Amino acid sequence: MQPIKKTNLKFDYRELLIKYNSVEIPEDIMYDQNQIAITSFDGKNVMVDNKFNEDYKRIPEVDLNLMNEWFKNSYVEEVINIINETYNTTKWRFMRLSSERRAYSYHKDETKRLHIPLLTNDECMFIIEKQLYEMNQPGVLYEMDTTQYHTALNLGWSDRVHMVGAYS
């Protein structure tokens, strides 16, 4: 079985980007400039700070399922609700790789992930179990088996932004 599967679901990535770009991230080293929590354990915290990030890792993914106030009654919530008609999802985030932060660590997740590319370029790719894959069609929902060792790379000069959720 392929570790990445393109689904038939497609969303307006431009509308999702508008909401992503409207979130003001404080330019402070205490905040992760590359992640915005769409859902969380309390439905309030959209910023991921360094301490919160460590605590966040200890919270079971199933508990990161409350829509944050910033995204309630928005197209982002509508998209997640449509996806939840087919999948049991939690832990939704916007994740960015920039020219300053080009990759994630090589790791495994406890559950699989759903990805919707919003901004991408031809130099963006995934490595899963030492094999190279692409996921470069904006707005398309992809299933990804992140229970295997994987990482994401952005080797281009423009940002790569995905909307990412965990599913079981």
Residue 151: its pLDDT value, please? 94
Report, as an integer, the average pLDDT of 66-95.
95
Name the nearest CA neighbour of 146 among 119, 128, 164, 124.
128
Q: What is the pLDDT of residues 3-12, one digit of tens each?
A: 999 999 999 9
**pLDDT of 120-160, one tens digit each?**
999 999 999 999 999 989 999 999 999 999 999 999 999 99
Average pLDDT for residues 50-75, to the nearest whole number? 78
- Cβ atoms of residues 62 and 167 within 8 Å: no
pTM: 0.91
How far apart, in whole angstroms, are the C-alpha atoms of residue 87 and residue 96? Answer: 23
Whole-number pLDDT of residue 40: 87
The pair of structure tokens assigned to 151 is 């990482």
pLDDT at 50 over 60: no
